[in-house]
Amino acid sequence: MAATMREWADFSLQGQGGDATVVVEGPLLVSTIGSLDRKLRTFDQPVQRIDLSAAAAVDTVGAWVILRFAREHGAEIVGASEQAQTLFAAVDGGDATAPINPPRPSAPYRVAEATGQLVVGWGHGVVRIVGFLGAIVVAMLGILRHPSRFRGRALVRQMELVGVSALGIVGLMSFLIGIVVAQQGAAQLRQFGAEIYTINLTGRLTMRELGVLMTAIMVAGRSGSAFAAQLGTMKLTEEIDAMRTIGVSPMEALIIPRILASVLMMPLLGFYSAVIGIIGGAAIADATLGIPFLTFLLRVREVVPTYDLWVGLIKAPVFGLIVALAGCYQGMQVEGNAEQVGLRTTLAVVQAIFMVIVLDAFFAIFFSEIGWE
């Protein structure tokens, strides 16, 4: 076949009525058969013979198209080369009716099915995640009874990954958020001549809300997704099955270190984030509001009540638990193929952030009800 110009296969009809012959010309190859195939599909006259003596070359696709045409018209194939005959035998198999694409029901049916599956999936998901939480608690109690089964090294390693290596990005994020809160707050408060309250705003907001909340979102994106992807890949490569057969419980070796690391590191990261946020606010106040850096920090100590610190520190481990739980749970649900890993990782992050924000709203109401406002 010349590379510069594609020579398409074609045919001509010789004879009439009871003695018609289709003479096929040109190469019968997958690269040249496209138009001939279309023409033969719509050809509806009776044919007695198919003459291949003018066909230049044949491959399996060409052989298949000719064979199908011959069957449909009850025609006889003449002039086929020895190679062509071998190929006819090779492609002749199966009744050629099996579906290629997966079955696809009609659109209204699919919508109803998808909705139903979503609802049932939610129901099962809630039950399963409670079950998962229960399994974790049981495993923790088991570790309390047999402390030798506790994996200290794994815990330290996870604490490093979740906490220490997140210091840079969490710090940068908190510093910038502190700047934004102080700068925007000052712009509004200036209208009442109450610029000094920028310190209250920045100090209390970062301690109570922003520090922990933004850190939880960052940890969900960094570590929650990593948990889901790691555990999911380990499930696909049968590593988790291998652990079970050796007698190592994946719950003890993989999940508990991750959950504990998140629960322990979240309060530290959240507090760190609040402190950096206040420093960011102080820096911008020093630069644009004329409040000296140290004055800002000293004033924070006076206006931020201690219980603001407790609000942040109480929420943080709960958020850490939710992030780690979502990541580990979704990772362990991976089955089948690589697409699942991506899907479950996305789910882990979305669920974690959603649950963190919902719970944060509950916490806000709860703490103001008990007088910590």
Binding site for another protein (CB under 8 A): 3-6, 8, 29-31, 33-35, 37-38, 41, 59-61, 64-65, 68, 83, 86-87, 89-103, 336-339
Query: Least distance to another protein from the beta carbon of 368, Å?
Result: 49
Contact 373, 257 (CB under 8 A): no
Of 70 and 297, nearer to another protein (C-beta) is: 70
- Under DSSP, is residue 49 helix (H, G, I), strand (E, B) or coil? strand
Between CA 278 and CA 286 the distance in angstroms is: 12
Token pair belonging to 78 = 């003449």
Of 178 and 232, nearer to another protein (C-beta) is: 232
DSSP at 150:
-
Query: Least distance to another protein from the beta carbon of 171, Å?
Result: 36
Of 92 and 160, nearer to another protein (C-beta) is: 92
- H or E element at residue 355: helix 338-369
- The beta-strand segments (E) located in 18-173 are 21-28, 49-51, 55-58, 76-78
Query: Least distance to another protein from the beta carbon of 234, Å?
Result: 17
Query: Least distance to another protein from the beta carbon of 87, Å?
Result: 7
Between CA 370 and CA 373 the distance in angstroms is: 8
In the beta sheet, which residues pair with residue 21? 14, 49
Query: Least distance to another protein from the beta carbon of 228, Å?
Result: 18
Among residues 210, 234, 269, 228, the alpha carbon closest in space to that of 351 is found at 228
In the beta sheet, which residues pair with residue 51? 23, 78
Between CA 115 and CA 128 the distance in angstroms is: 19
Of 32 and 215, nearer to another protein (C-beta) is: 32
Of 31 and 48, nearer to another protein (C-beta) is: 31
Of 30 and 114, nearer to another protein (C-beta) is: 30
Query: Least distance to another protein from the beta carbon of 88, Å?
Result: 8
Query: Least distance to another protein from the beta carbon of 231, Å?
Result: 18
Query: Least distance to another protein from the beta carbon of 124, Å?
Result: 21
Query: Least distance to another protein from the beta carbon of 67, Å?
Result: 9
- Under DSSP, is residue 11 helix (H, G, I), strand (E, B) or coil? strand
Three-point CA angle 99, 104, 107, nearest 5°: 155
Of 4 and 16, nearer to another protein (C-beta) is: 4
Between CA 226 and CA 232 the distance in angstroms is: 10
Q: What is the dihedral sign for C-alpha 283, 284, 287, 289?
A: negative
Three-point CA angle 314, 318, 319, nearest 5°: 110
Between CA 198 and CA 296 the distance in angstroms is: 9
Instruction: Output the CA–CA distances (angstroms, integers) from residue 88 to 70, 98, 125, 175, in the order listed.
Output: 11, 20, 53, 73
Of 115 and 337, nearer to another protein (C-beta) is: 337
Of 261 and 341, nearer to another protein (C-beta) is: 341
